[in-house]
Amino acid sequence: MPLLQVTLTQGRTPEQIENVIAALTDTLVSTLGVKQESVRVVIQEVAKTHFGSAGMSLARRDGKPEGHTENNGEQQ
């Protein structure tokens, strides 16, 4: 039973998340030859204030003010 864990910053729509799950499932089915029903995908969303790269949060890199939180389900 393949299990994929994906971490994304917040801001994707529910439709985009559904599309990611479907695409990843299809990829494992076609490349590993597993049954679609056996594939598990976990999407974890993280606020840009809690996700860092190159020594700073993505919120700071993108110029978001301190304490800024992402809107639920809305892209920034």
Residue in 2, 13, 23, 42 annotated catalytic:
2
Told to judge if 65 belongs to the known catalytic residues of this protein, a careful annotator would answer no
State whether residue 52 is helix, strand or coil. strand
Residue 75's φ and ψ, nearest 5 degrees, are -75, 145
Distance CA 7, CA 62 (A): 18
Which residues are marked as active site?
2
